[in-house]
Amino acid sequence: MTSQQLPPGLIGARTRRKEDPRLLTGRAQFVDDVVLPGMLEAAVLRSPHPHARISSIDISAALTVPGVFAVLTGHEVRDACATPQPVVWRMIPDQRMTDQYALAVDKVRYVGQPVAVVAATDRYVAEDALGHIEVEYEVLDPVVTLDDALAADAPLLYEDWPDNVSCRQTIPKGDAATAFAEADVVVTETLTYGRQMGAPLETRGAVMSWDPFTDHLECWMSTQSPNLTRDLLGEVLGLPVDHIRVRTPHVGGGFGNKFDFYAEEVLAALLSKRTGRPVKIIEDRLESFVANAHSREQRIEVSVAAKADGTITGMRGTVWAVLGGQLATVGIGPCWLSMALMAGPYDIPNVEATVVGVVTNRSPYGSYRGWGQPKANFAHERIIEKLAHELGLPANDVRRRNLIPADKFPYPSQVFYYDSGNYADCLDMAENAVAERGWRKRCDAASNEGRALGVGYSFHIEISALGPSKIMNQAGLQHSSFDEEVVRIDSAGGVTVRTGLSAMGQGIETALAQVAAHTLGVPLDSVTVLHGDTQTNPFTGYGTGASRGAALGGGALLRASTRLRDKVLRIAGHVLEASPDDLEIADGVISVKGAPGGPSITMRDIGDAAYRRLDGKLPDGEDPTLEERDVLDPDNVAFSYGTTAVLVEVDRETGRVDVLDYLLVHDCGTVINPMIVDGQLHGGATQGIGGALYEEIVYSPEGQPLTTTFMDYLIPTATEIPRFETLHMTTTADHIPGGFKGMGEAGTIGAASAITAAIEDALPDLTLHLARLPVSPPRLLDAIDVATASKENS
C-alpha cells in the first residue's frame, strides 16, 4: 500500500501532539526521577591525561569513606565482563579493533576516560570518595591531531598496531581514472569539518538493579535503542537477555548520542551486582563534554572531473576520520557513510571514494544527528560551488545539470539504491520561492546601504527507513534493523499500540497514534501508545535512530491496523447482516456506506463482541480478541531529499554572520503530521546552524579539552535562530507501506553548505573559499584578509 491508496483522514493532519501535556506540565518521568528503595549513587573517576600508562591505583582510602559501598577498577571490570565494550558497526572486515572495557585497565587514551567508579549513599559522598583514590600515571606523548597521528614517528595509541590507522577502505563505481584523464577541467578542495557533539537537555543516565537471588537485571535508561541496549548488556555481562529488562522513560533529547552504548551503563550494573542494591549514575554536564560521543570531525579531500559545460564525469574523495582513543559503539560507521554518500544527489558515473579511520587521544567518535551525511553534503556541495566558480556558471545551473533525473530511479550509487525522487523540481521550487520572497532584492537594497547580504543554496539527500536487516548485516551491522508493532482494540473499543521505539521529544507517540486512528477510523484520543519496556513491548531491531521510526514503525503499524480493521468489519458485517465491503468506519462508528441514519455499531460494541458476549455476535471461525502484529523489514532504505536556501548578513568588520531567513523545500514521502515534520526539520536546521557558525570542540596541543562548558562550546540560542519556512513535495517510497520516508536528520545535513555559500555570495567583490567549519568570526576575518590581499596583488 502506498500513499496514493491512503484515504483522507488523520494522516497528513496537523494535530496536536499527544505527549505534550505531560512534558509541558512536568508530569513526564525521566531517568533521574526513578527512585528505588536502598538505591545508591555512583560517580566516575576520569583520566586527567590524554595518553598515559596506569602504574598503580590505590582505592583503600576511598573504601573507608563513610557511606561508600563499593569501588571498582579496570582489572575488576575486565574480569567481571564476558566481552569488551561492543562495536556494532563493522563495515570494514579487517579493521583493527580497540577492544576496551568500561574502565581503563593498563592505559588511558583520552581525557575523561573512566578509570575507577564509586557507589555510595549519594552522589556527594561518591564524589568525595573519588578524591581519595590515588592513581599513579606514566604520562606519554599525546597524539592530538590528525597530522600528529599520521606522522612517521607518531606515538602509538596501541603498541601492537604498526601505526595509528584503524582502517582503510575504497569503494569504486565506474572508471574514475579515465574520467579524470579525459576531463576538460578538474577541481580539487580540502575541507575540514570541526569536532562537535549533541547536547541534549537531559544528560545520559541509568538506574540498574541486579537481583542477587534471581540473577535478573532491571534497568532504567535514557536510551534511543532499548532492545539493542538489552542485547549488548547481555553480551558484555554474560547474562541471558531474558534476565534483563530495559525500561526507557521519557528521553530528554537523544540526537544520536543516546543510541550509543556507554561504559557507565555497564559500571552501574556491576556496582549493583557487587552491592546488592540499585545503583543510579547520572552524567553531569561537565562530564558530558568528554564522556558523551563526539562527532563530525573529518578532513575531506575531494576532486571532480568535468566537461566544459559543467557536466561532472568523475569524482574522487578521501575522508580522513579523526577518531578518538577507542572505537565507540558505531565504530567507523558515520565516517564510512560520509564516504559512501560523497556523490550525494548527483548522477556521476565514475566515483572513487576512500575512508581512513585514524585514532587520536580524543574522546570516542560516535553518533550525532545526521551521522556521516552533513560531511558528505559539505564535500559535494562545496566542490559544486568551486566548479561553478571555475567555469563562470551559476552554482544552481551546475547542480541542475548533474542532479539525478526522475526517470533514472531507482538509481545505483556506489553503495545504495536511491528509491525515488524528483530532484530538479525540488531545486526549481526553492529558487522560485526565494524569488517570490524577494531575497535578491533585499541583497541589492542592503548593498546600497553598505551592508553585505547573500543567498546560498544546498541540495541534500537523507538515508532513512534503515533496513533491511540481512543487507545491513552484510554491510557490517551486528544487529537487526526491522521494526515490530502491535495494535490491540480492547473490550471497550479503546486502541493500544505497543512499540519498541523510544520517545525522546520527536513526537513518535502522536505519529503512531495518527496512523492507527486513521487506519481504524477511530478518534485520535482513543489511541494509547505504549513504549519504553523490553519486557512488555515488541522488538525494534535498531532502535530510534537513522530516521526510521515513522517510516518503519508507521509502515508496520499501518499493515497491522489494516488487518485489524478488516476483522472489525467482518464482525460488524455479521452483526449488521451486511457485507464488510459495504461498511465504513468513521469516528469509531461502523455503518453502511451511503446510508446516513441507517443501522450502525460502535467500536465499543465490536470490543464487547470479541471479548465478552460472543454468542451471536462473533462470526463462526473468527477468533476472539482484537490484536494484530506486523514486522517490517523493508527491501531497501528510503531516501528523502530537499533543497536548503538561506539569506545571511555578514559584518565585514567583525566577521559576524547573522542568518536572516531560512527556507527548506523537502520531500519525505507521505507526511503523517506536517507540524511534527516541520518541527523536526527546523530543529535539525538549528543544529546545522550551530555546526556551521558556532559549535566546535577544541583541544590544546597537549590534548586537553578547552571547551567543557556552554561558555566555551557555543550553541545557538533563540536570538541566533531565524524564521524557518518549509515547503513540501511528495514522492512516495513505494516499498514502504504508506509511502513514508524519514526526515529526522534532514535539517542538519544541508545547513552548513548553504550558509557557507551564502557568506561567499554576500562578499562578491572577494574570491572567498570557505573550507573549514565552523565559520567563526576570527576564521572569516582571516579568510577576508587572504582574499583581500589576493585581490590587491592580482
Pick the CATH number of 403-465+636-794 from 3.40.630.10, 3.40.50.2300, 3.30.365.10, 3.20.20.70: 3.30.365.10
pTM of the model: 0.97
**Alpha-carbon distances, residue 324 vs 92, 144, 683 (angstroms):** 18, 9, 27
Please provide residue 131's backbone torsions phi and psi, each rounded to the nearest 5 degrees. -70, -15
Within 346-416, where are the H helices?
373-391, 395-402
Q: What pLDDT shows up at residue 597? A: 84
Q: Are 520 and 585 in contact (CB under 8 A)?
A: yes
Q: Where are the domains of the chain?
A: 20-27+482-632, 403-465+636-794
Give how far the C-alpha of residue 365 lies from the chain's centroid of Cα atoms, to the nearest Å.
14
Return the pLDDT at 13. Answer: 80
Tell me, what's the pLDDT at 113? 98
In DSSP notation, 214-269 reads T--EEEEE--S-HHHHHHHHHHHHT--GGGEEEE----S--TTTTTS--HHHHHHH
CA distance 192 to 206: 35
Does the pLDDT of residue 429 top 90, yes or no? Answer: yes
Predicted pLDDT at 8: 58
CB atoms within 10 A of CB 471: 16
CA–CA separation, 123 and 41 (whole Å) = 5
Per mean pLDDT, which range of 218-222, 293-297, 596-600, 624-628 is the poorest? 596-600
Q: Is the confidence at residue 614, as pLDDT, over 80?
A: yes
Share of the chain above pLDDT 90, in %: 95
* Grid coordinates of 591: 455503518
- 548: which residues sit within 8 A by CB, 6+ positions away? 464, 465, 466, 467, 481, 483, 542, 742
Interacting residues of 283 by C-beta distance below 8 A, sequence separation 6+: 203, 204, 205, 264, 291, 292
Q: What is the mean pLDDT of residues 727-732?
A: 97
- Averaged pLDDT, 508-534: 97
Distance of CA 70 to the CA centre of its chain: 36
Q: Quick one: fold of 20-27+482-632? A: Aldehyde Oxidoreductase; domain 4 (3.30.365)
pLDDT at 645 over 70: yes
Closest C-alpha among 332, 441, 457, 418 to residue 636: 418
The per-residue pLDDT for range 385-418, each reduced to its tens digit, is 999 999 999 999 999 999 999 999 999 999 999 9
Q: How far is CA 601 from CA 16, 477, 488, 608, 618, in A?
A: 28, 49, 18, 11, 13
Per-residue pLDDT band for 6 (boundaries 50, 70, 90) equals low
Reported as half-sphere exposure (CB side, CA atoms, 13 A), residue 637 has a value of 23
Rounded distance, CA 260 to CA 618, Å? 48
Asked if pLDDT for residue 5 goes beyond 50, the answer is no
- CB-hemisphere CA count at 13 Å for 61? 10
Length of the chain: 794
Longest dimension (CA), the chain: 95
pLDDT at site 7? 57
Same fold, 20-27+482-632 and 403-465+636-794: yes
Average pLDDT of the chain? 96
Per-residue pLDDT reduced to its tens digit, 42-64: 999 999 999 999 999 999 999 99
Per-residue cell: 58: 590505590
Dig out the grid coordinates for 201 from the structure: 537537555
Average pLDDT over residues 555-580: 97
Cβ–Cβ under 8 Å, residues 141 and 155: yes
CB half-sphere exposure, 268, CA atoms < 13 A? 29
Nearest residue to 200 (alpha-carbon basis) of 687, 733, 647: 687
Does the pLDDT value for residue 12 go beyond 80?
no
Name the burial class of residue 75, with classes exposed (0-12), middle (13-18) and buried (19+) by CB atoms within 10 angstroms of its CB. Answer: middle
Would you say 649 and 445 are in contact if contact means Cβ atoms under 8 Å apart? no
Q: In whole angstroms, how far apart are CA 743 and each of 224, 747, 752, 754, 774?
A: 17, 8, 17, 18, 24
Q: Which three cell numbers stand for residue 67?
A: 557511606
pLDDT digits (tens, 9 = 90+) for 228-269: 999 999 999 999 999 999 999 999 999 999 999 999 999 999
The mean per-residue pLDDT over the stretch 617-624 comes to 93
> pLDDT band at 2, cuts 50/70/90?
very low
